[in-house]
Amino acid sequence: MHGLIGPNGSGKTTTMRIISGIIKRFEGKAEVLGHHLPPERSKLKGLVAYLPEDLRLYGRLTGWENILYFAMLYADTREEAESMAEYGARIAGLSEKDLARRASEYSKGMARRVALARTLMTRSPLTILDEPTSGLDVFSAYRMRESIREFARETGSTVIISSHNMLEVQNLCDRVTLILRGRAVASGSPKEIIESVGAADLEEAFVKLASGGGVE
Amino acid sequence: MSKLYPIIWKEIKDMLMDYRTLVVIAVMPVIMMPLMSMASVYVPGLQIVTVCVIDEDNSLTTLGGQRVGSVNLTTAIVQALESNGFIVQENSCGGYDIRVLVRPGFTRNLTDLTVRAVVEVERVIGVQRAVDAENIIRSVVSWFSAVVSQARIEYLASKAGIEVNPAAVRDPVGTEARVVGPGGAPVQPGEDIRVWLARVMAFGLLFVTTPSIGYITDSVVGEKERRTLEALLVTPVGPKALIVGKAFAASIVGLVVSIGDVMGVLLFFGLPSLVRGVNILSYLTPAMLVAHVVAVYISVLASLALILPVLVRVGSYRASQAVSLVVMSAASVIFFASLYADITKLPQPASSALLLLPYTAAVAMLKSVVTGDLVSSVMYALTALGVSAGLIGLSALIFDEEKAVYSKT
């Protein structure tokens, strides 16, 4: 699990969009799952799962239908789609009762869990989560982190996660990259980054690195 | 295109769950068309218009063996007005919207071959119902004039000692008119009325353009607003399937709307039958109703096809509203013009160019069905469907995923 950290506007979301194959014109090169971007961008379709920040659900559909719709886009048969959707619901800790309700009735935490289920169900080799716990209460954020951790353990999929919660990144991620003004200024395990600047934790390391990088 | 099914599945499910909007869309023509009918047929009759008929002459005379005079003219005028729902005050009135005055000497002038007898009609400006009354008065006076002129001819003929046909003398040149179909074959009585009905039905298509534009806008721009577009773009679904699937699903609205619109048409023509006792409904044929359903579907498909190329490029609600307004205005002009003009009879190349517009082709198809020109009607329908499909295909081609993700909502 790889954490992307950086202040607002530093380029985390843009980096994630490039890696997921959404952006087709950018300077430089990227290699994702053996495919060179931008020329082989289209080959990434279906290989990368992406949960955008603030993604909302289709309010008139039930939670189950929201997951099933995306599953049908990946699967060849209805049975396969249902099986994928069931996996997503299980990994996100969603009950049948939860999923039978219309998405418009969900709390923010519940909606994010359904969105997470929709992303994780594909068991893609690369899963990108843009601030998945942003704005959630402590309990909902904890449930989300547990689901992500369980998914990574079960599937062995590479997960890239961005967050402003340094404690979350420190606990979840094996490696972290700090982005400032579109450039990676530090990369390594949380422990390595913390030790490199003599900080007590990742938050202090972030502040030190970001201040040194001229962040106002 | 293998991923078309899930997109259509989701869009239709989403649409069906929004049952309130669907009901409003289906019911709108059912309410609006009868309201239009009532507004044009029933409501004018509710206006209180004061008609005053004053006969200062009040006399009768004998001319050519007939009894004629101001008395039978004013009686006929009063009867005609009252049978059309007007309240008539005779010989004494204060304020009025229209007044008929027959001055003394009117009857005497009927027998004098050197002068014209005159009926004075005075109407207050700005009252539409008074204009209707004036038309009725004019038609009665015209009938009375024919009676008097016939009596005068009989009188003159008897004086000259010759035999005449008073009608042939009074109206020596007649018109013998026939109405034929496009191939020259005589048409059945009432076919002209059917063509008029087809024009009104084409005007009714105006009510079906707005809902489809609303659905496709929500379907495309809504994905962006919900940030679901980004999630969709990494799935195996291609942008072509995404756009085509959404357009096809939104066009299903057309089928729902068509049910309401056909009901609206039946009520539009049925209400005058109840109010005025004129059975217009009997002129409607099953073929006309089927053609109307097809025209509704074409209009819906055309509306979303016309706005889609813009939606996929700009992707904001505000921009889409501006384009919607342009599309709806164009549709209004075409459907309104269809009441008065035949696009197929305009000079070339204007006619062919206009017929490439799906709305115009839908109107031409309706009219062709009524006149029995089925080949042309199929051709017009295929043109409209082809142009709409082409625009949807173009939208799929020019859809820029990256731009859609980055453009402001």
| Sequence spans of domains, chain B | 4-41+188-406, 48-170
pLDDT score for A177: 93
Question: What is the greatest pairwise CA distance in chain B?
Answer: 103
Q: Beta A48-51 vs B66-69: how paired, if at all?
A: unpaired
A125 contact B CB<8A: no
- Burial label for B4, CB within 10 Å (0-12, 13-18, 19+), is middle
Instruction: Spell out where A122-174 has E strands.
Output: 126-130, 158-162
- Model confidence pLDDT, tens digit, residues B2-59: 678 899 999 888 888 888 877 887 787 788 878 887 777 777 777 788 899 999 999 9
Domains of chain A, residue spans: 2-212
The predicted structure's pLDDT at residue B276? 63
* Phi then psi dihedrals of residue B350, to 5 deg: -60, -40
Instruction: Decide if A23 touches B, using CB distance below 8 A.
Output: yes
Give B 13-42 residues with CB within 8 A of chain A: 13-14, 17-18
Quote the percentage of chain B above a pLDDT of 90: 23
Task: Determine the 3-state secondary structure of B81 from DSSP.
Answer: helix
> What percent of chain B clears pLDDT 70, i.e. is strictly above it?
96
Q: A70 falls in which pLDDT band (50, 70, 90)?
A: very high
Q: Which residues of A touch B3 (CB under 8 A)?
A: 73
Whats the size of chain A, residue-wise?
A: 216
- Quick one: tokens of B405? 């993700």
pTM, to two decimals: 0.76
DSSP B351-369: HHHHHTSHHHHHHHHHHHH
Looking at the DSSP assignment, which residues form a beta bridge with residue B66?
A: B63
Whether B227 and A60 lie within 8 Å, measured CB to CB: no
Distance from CA of A5 to the nearest CA of B (A): 21
ipTM reported for the complex, 2 dp: 0.85
CB-CB neighbors (< 8 A) of A119 in chain B: 231
Here the tokens at position B203 are 């005007």
Cα–Cα distance, B197 to B283 (Å, whole number): 8
B307-317 confidence digits (pLDDT tens): 888 888 876 77
| pLDDT tens digits, one per residue of B143-198 | 999 999 988 998 899 889 999 998 888 888 988 888 887 777 777 777 778 887 88
CB atoms within 10 A of CB B46: 9
What b/e sequence results for B139-171 when a residue is b if at least 16 CB atoms lie within 10 Å of its CB, and e otherwise?
ebbeebbebbbbbbbbbebeeeeeeeebeeeee
Beta bridge partners, A102, equal A62
pLDDT of amino acid B383: 94
Please give the span between the terminal C-alpha atoms of chain A, in angstroms, as a whole number: 29
The predicted-structure confidence for B268-289, as pLDDT tens digits, reads as follows 777 766 666 667 777 778 888 8
d(CA B314, CA B92): 70
A46: nearest CB among B9, B227, B235: B235
Closest chain A C-alpha to B239 CA, distance in angstroms = 11
The C-alpha atoms of residue B358 and residue B355 are separated, in whole angstroms, by 7
Task: With beta carbons under 8 A apart, name residues in chain B contacting A120.
Answer: none
Helices within B315-399 (DSSP H only): 317-337, 350-355, 358-370, 374-398
Buried residues in A24-55 as b, exposed as e (16+ CB within 10 A): eeeeeebebeebebeeebeebebbbbbbbbeb
Residue A127 has pLDDT above 50, yes or no: yes
pLDDT band for position B408 (cuts 50, 70, 90)? low
Nearest to A176 by CA among A12, A21, A9: A12
**DSSP 8-state class, residue B227:** T
Are the Cβ atoms of B234 and A73 closer than 8 angstroms? no
pLDDT score, position B256:
75
| Over residues B301-326, mean pLDDT | 83
Distance CA B117, CA B102 (A): 9
Asked if the A2-212 domain carries CATH number 3.40.50.300, the reply is yes
pLDDT of residue B277: 63
List Cβ neighbours of B286 (8 Å cut-off, separation of 6 or more): none
Judged against a pLDDT cut of 60, whether residue A186 lies above it is answered with yes
pLDDT of residue B278: 64
Query: At B364, which amino acid appears?
Result: A
Q: Please give the structure tokens belonging to residue A6.
A: 């950086």
Q: How deeply is B317 buried, as exposed, middle or buried, from its count of CB atoms within 10 A (0-12, 13-18, 19+)? A: middle
Question: Which residue pairs from A184-188 have beta carbons closer than 8 angstroms and sit at least 24 positions apart in sequence?
Answer: A185/A209, A185/A213
Return all residues near A187 (Cβ < 8 A) that are at least 6 apart: A175, A176, A177, A178, A193
Which of A54, A72, A73 faces B227 most closely, judged by CB atoms? Answer: A54
Check CB contact under 8 Å for A52 and B230. Answer: yes
DSSP single-letter state for residue A174: S
Chain B residues whose beta carbon lies within 8 Å of the beta carbon of residue A45: 234-236, 238
Retrieve residue B150's tokens.
């016939």
Q: Which candidate in B230, B233, B403 is best for mutational testing of the A interface (most A CBs within 10 A)?
A: B230
Q: What is the CATH number of domain B48-170?
A: 3.40.1710
